[in-house]
Amino acid sequence: QMSISCDSLSTTQLNVPEGKVELRKKVTLLRGISIIIGTIIGAGIFISPKGIIKNSGSVGMSLVVWIACGVLSLFGDNLELHTTWQKKKNSCMHSINYPLSPISNLRPAGLAVISLAFGRYILEPIFMPCGVPELAIKLTTTLGITSVIYLNSMSVSWTARLQIFLTGCKLLAVGIIIVPGLYQLFKGETKNFQNAFELQSVDLAGFPLAFYSGMYAYAGWFYLNFVTEEVENPERTVPLAICISMTIVTLCYVLTNVAYYTVMSAEELLASSAVAVTFAERLMGKFSMAVPIFVSLSCFGSMNGCLFAFSRMFFAASREGHLPEVLSMIHIRRHTPVPAVIVLYPLTLVLLFSGDIYSLLNFMSFLRWLFIGVAVLGLIYMRYTRPELHRPFKVPIFIPAVFSFTCFFMVFLSLYSDLVTTGIGFAISLTGIPAYYIFIVFDRKPKWLLKLSDSINRSLQIIMEVVPPEH
| pLDDT tens per residue across span 318-327 | 877 777 888 8
Predicted confidence (pLDDT) at residue 48 exceeds the cutoff of 60: yes
What's CA 88's distance to the chain center, in Å?
20
User: Within 10 A of 201 (CB to CB), how many other CB atoms are there?
Assistant: 12
Evaluate if residue 43 carries a pLDDT over 80.
no
* CA 253/CA 1 separation, integer angstroms: 43
Q: Is residue 18 part of a domain?
A: no
pLDDT in tens, 69-115: 888 777 665 556 655 655 444 444 444 444 334 455 567 777 887 78
Report the C-alpha dihedral over residues 252, 63, 395, 316, rounded to 10 degrees.
-60
In a domain, 151, yes or no: yes
In terms of average pLDDT, the best of 4-18, 33-47, 83-97 is: 33-47
- Whether 471 shows a pLDDT value over 70: the answer reads no
Q: If you average pLDDT over every residue of the chain, what do you get?
A: 76
Report pLDDT for 89.
43
Question: Over pLDDT 90: what percentage of the chain?
Answer: 3
Is residue 22 included in any domain, yes or no? no
Residue 364: inside a domain, yes or no?
yes
Quick check: 371 and 340 in contact, CB under 8 A? no
Instruction: Identify the band that residue 166 occupies on the pLDDT scale cut at 50, 70 and 90.
Output: confident
Find, among 244, 283, 294, 290, the residue nearest to 45 by Cα: 294
pLDDT at 88: 46
> Helix 419-430 and helix 357-385: axis angle, to 10°?
50
- Write the DSSP assignment of 20-70 as a string of letters: --S----B-HHHHHHHHHHHHSSSHHHHHHHHHHHHH-SHHHHHHHHHHHH
On the question of pLDDT at 4 being above 50, the answer is no
Question: Which residue(s) pair with 466 in the sheet?
Answer: 331
Can you give the pLDDT at residue 14? 54
Evaluate whether residue 461 is within a structural domain: no
| Alpha-helix runs per DSSP H in 320-446 | 338-342, 344-352, 357-385, 398-417, 419-430, 432-436
Which neighbouring-strand residues pair with 27? Answer: 231
Write the pLDDT tens digit of every residue in 382-398.
888 888 777 766 777 87
Q: Residue 237 is part of a domain; what is its CATH number?
A: 1.20.1740.10
**Per-residue pLDDT at 26:** 66
Q: Is the pLDDT of residue 306 over 60?
A: yes
Q: Note the pLDDT of residue 19.
A: 54
Q: What is the pLDDT of residues 51-82, one digit of tens each?
A: 788 877 788 888 888 898 888 777 665 556 65
| DSSP-assigned letters across all residues of 78-101 | -HHHHHHSSTTHHHHHHHHHTTT-
Q: Look at residue 128 and tell me whether its pLDDT is greater than 80.
A: no
Is 8 part of any domain?
no
Can you spell out the DSSP letters for 381-403?
A: HHHHH-TTS--SS---THHHHHH
d(Cα 316, Cα 323) in Å, to the nearest integer? 9
**379-406 burial by CB neighbour count: b if 16+ within 10 A, else e?**
beebbeeeeeeeeebebeeeebeebbeb
The pLDDT of residue 370 is: 77
Instruction: Specify the pLDDT at position 17.
Output: 56
Within a domain: residue 104? Answer: yes
- 143: domain range? 29-438
pLDDT reported for residue 167: 81
> pLDDT digit string (tens) for 190-242?
887 887 777 666 666 667 778 777 877 787 766 676 676 677 777 778 778 88
| Polymer length of the chain | 471
**Per-residue pLDDT, 95:** 41
Tally Cβ neighbours within 10 Å of residue 338: 25
pLDDT of residue 146: 93
- Determine the average pLDDT of the residues in 123-136: 79
The CA distances from residue 202 to 29, 84, 206, 385, 410, in Å, are: 42, 42, 8, 43, 17
The reported pLDDT for the residue numbered 299 is 82
Count of domains for the chain: 1
pLDDT digits (tens, 9 = 90+) for 443-460: 677 787 778 878 888 888
DSSP 8-state secondary structure symbol assigned to residue 331:
E
Residue at 87: amino acid letter: K
Q: Which residues contact 51 (CB under 8 A, 6 or more apart)?
A: 209, 210, 212, 213, 358, 361
Task: With respect to residue 17, please indicate whether it lies within any of the assigned structural domains.
Answer: no
Least reliable range by pLDDT among 147-156, 356-365, 421-430, 446-455: 356-365
Of 345, 315, 335, 407, whose CA–CA distance to 370 is shortest?
407
Closest CA to 311 of 291, 294, 336: 336
Coil, helix or strand at residue 467: strand
Which of 91-105, 250-264, 346-360, 377-391 is predicted most confidently?
Answer: 250-264
Look at the pTM and tell me if it is higher than 0.75.
no
Separation in Å, CA 5 to CA 438, 440, 456, 460? 14, 10, 12, 15
